[in-house]
Amino acid sequence: MPNWVIQRESGGLADHNLETLLTIGNGHISVRGTAIEQTQGELAASFMHNIWDDMPVQRTELANLPRWWGIDIWANGHRLGIHGATPPATWSLDLRTGTLTRRLTWQVDQGTTVEIEDERFCCLDNPQGAVVRLNLRVTRGQARIRLRAGVDAHVDNTALKHWSVNQQSTDDNLACLEATTLSTRLDVGIATVFDVPGATITTCQADGQPTLLASAIVGESGSITATKYIGLSSTNECDNPLEDAGKIAVSLAATGWDGLVASNQAEWQRVWDVSDIEIDGDDEAQLAVRYYIFQLMIAAPRIADASIGAKTLSGFGYRHHVFWDTEIFMLPLFTCTRPELATRMLDYRWRRLAGARRKAVAGGARGARFPWESAGVGDEVCPVWVEKPADPANLIRIWTGDLEMHLNADLAHAIMQYWYVTGDDEFMRTQGAEIILDTATYFATAAVLEADGFYHFRDVIGPDEYHEHADDNAFTNAMAVWHLKLASSMLAWLRQGFPADAETLCRRLGIDDATEQLWVTVADKMVRPIVRDGVIEQQQGFFELTDVDLGLARDQTRTRSMQAIYGIGPTAKTQNIKQPDVLMLAFMRPELFDDKTLRANYDYYDPRTDHEYGSSLGPSISSIMAAWVGDADAAYAHFARAIRADLHDARGNANDGIHGASAGGVWQAVVFGFAGLRIGPDGWSTQPHLPAQWTRLRFHIIWRGELCEIVITR
């Protein structure tokens, strides 16, 4: 089906980028696109939201689940895969249903050939269920087939073990395992029913591997179909995950493959009815946009108290930690098309205010400062020292957890956007206002009044992480000023509509007259940046740094980041930037930039940005900026870079997982850039800048509960 199916060929060897690309899931569990029978060197993984376990350096990560999707295959005593090369295969990921299919032909021995087709999906309508089906047809000769399915606890996270086995059992055609994470003591139960008509099923128990075996003799032109129904549960959902998982697996088997296919498809249809984007005139863009919407949809938590990590649920990169990537880059898709999922992700932050308060106090301030990297508990989990990728004997100090402080304002921004779009006063009254006010108090009490009579934020990191230890980063300061003013107006809103809530909240957060006054004073007296010919200086002293070597920076044959070329220290002495910073401010606070100012800043900063190998968060924002200033070619070039990040592995690191922020940025580049959608307290409007080849663009947003169709044609 054109523009709905990602099709790829694999050779015989493990391909980690492909494994990432073919990740499927259902908003609770995910599984990378590895072979069901295992390939040598593969980076197989499956994750469930909120199953965190401790690890060194990065502190915590989601534990790779016991292997539940595997079916090992023997024909005439020969095993497929694992020990030798797997035959080339064709993979199709159908975005309409989240189903991954693989087809291959296996020359078993001189006289025997079999064709294999396997399919798998995680049930979107039942987040604790998944199903795998194998269809094996003997096209030449006769084959003695043996299939081995079950659950296997002998898995790791890139060589780190997370599981101890609690109990396991096999009974008829049901295999069950319960395992516990080693540090956090979370129990996960996984159960599987193996249904293979015409075959004899036997069971086998090895430690941590309750197994079901099916054997059959298949003659020429004959076939065998094996279906594996899987239930997954944890102590986050119930008291007895083993029993729960067993019940789920049995009930999936009772429904059967066809029934599960139908209900999964119907649920996906409901997603696409609202969240699809139609682009006429550009097949690459059409398929890519759907692909990235799909990847975000399968990562957004459906039942867990969780949010989406920087690399979604598709790899080990950033160890599933949640950054500003979620609220600023991924959330708008959900805010505008699946508000109930946006609420869940904002709720994730609200439930972690205690951690944010601890971080604020530890830094000598009051209020709440959300951690740069967040996981299960809500305390800072940003690593402090990591090994240098090119030289692991040496360590690099990671400063972002200490110094990158703009997240508070990013959250306030996301909450306001959510509120404008949904009109969800109840959320604002009970949760949103608390986050906005408490995080504003952090800014007010962390800013330092200096002898010049102005407040400053010194030694920070703005969005552009090539410049650590920056003084008065323009983005951070301007966002804090906006946030502090917002706190005053939100408190006024709360007092007017819900006076009792306002009083209780102020008492609970220690907001007295002096705090309120401090919000106003700091906003008023925050030092303002230098502006030269309309260009806002990114941070103090930025204009004095060595200018960018544009020949090198814009050289399209460059294969490394500017920071990798120069080194961390030397790059910071130049005006090379990793990602939009002043232009990020223009994106988030467009009211501060008239047309002339936007143009001046775009002309200055865009060529100085490492679009190719800086941050993957950059290209979509650069695309929007280019669209807003009317530079259609540049807008499309930046957009193309964003859509190729994972689909073409343009940055060379798709093996770590999907670039979630880039995926969300792709949606925004289409909606906020090309369609020019603007959202405010009084409504929405569009100001289209369609790429030349796009003849029609169609999408939906849900505005205050009402489905609005937006169609832009040439």
Residues that bind ligand BGC (CB under 6 A): 310, 318, 323-325, 463, 465, 578-579, 615, 617, 661
Q: Is 637 exposed, middle or buried (0-12, 13-18, 19+ CB in 10 A)?
A: middle
Residue 624 or 675 having the CB closest to ligand BGC: 624
CB of 648 to ligand BGC, least distance (A): 19
CB of 477 to ligand BGC, least distance (A): 18
CB of 684 to ligand BGC, least distance (A): 27
Q: How far apart are CA 708 and CA 699, in angstroms?
A: 9
Residue 47 or 318 having the CB closest to ligand BGC: 318
Q: Side chain identity at 550, as an amino acid letter?
A: L
Q: How far apart are CA 663 and CA 670, in angstroms?
A: 11
CB of 354 to ligand BGC, least distance (A): 23
Q: How far apart are CA 176 and CA 152, in angstroms?
A: 10
CB of 400 to ligand BGC, least distance (A): 8
Residue 101 or 615 having the CB closest to ligand BGC: 615
Residue 364 or 567 having the CB closest to ligand BGC: 567
> In b/e form, how buried is each residue of 441-477, taking b as 16+ CB within 10 angstroms?
bbbbbbbeeeeeebbbbeebbbbbbbbbebebbbbbb
Residue 152 or 581 having the CB closest to ligand BGC: 581
Instruction: Please give the biggest Cα pair distance in the chain.
Output: 89
In the block, residue with structure tokens 């941050």: 615
Q: What is the DSSP letter of 202?
A: E
Query: Helix H segments across 589-695?
Result: 595-605, 618-629, 632-647, 660-668
Token code pair at residue 625: 């900026």
Residue 329 or 519 having the CB closest to ligand BGC: 329
CB of 372 to ligand BGC, least distance (A): 8
CB of 615 to ligand BGC, least distance (A): 4
Give the SS3 label for residue 550.
helix
Residue 264 or 312 having the CB closest to ligand BGC: 312
CB of 359 to ligand BGC, least distance (A): 17
CB of 588 to ligand BGC, least distance (A): 13
Residue 323 or 419 having the CB closest to ligand BGC: 323
CA neighbor of 27 nearest in space, from 215, 328, 317, 306 = 306
- Containing 72, the helix (H) or strand (E) segment is strand 71-75
Is the distance from CB of 229 to CB of 129 less than 8 angstroms?
yes
DSSP codes of every residue in 290-355: HHHHHHHHHHS-SSSS----TTTTSSSGGGG-B-HIIIIIIHHHHHHH-HHHHHHHHHHHHTTHHH
- Containing 475, the helix (H) or strand (E) segment is helix 474-497
Residue 176 or 310 having the CB closest to ligand BGC: 310
Residue 190 or 328 having the CB closest to ligand BGC: 328
CB of 540 to ligand BGC, least distance (A): 20
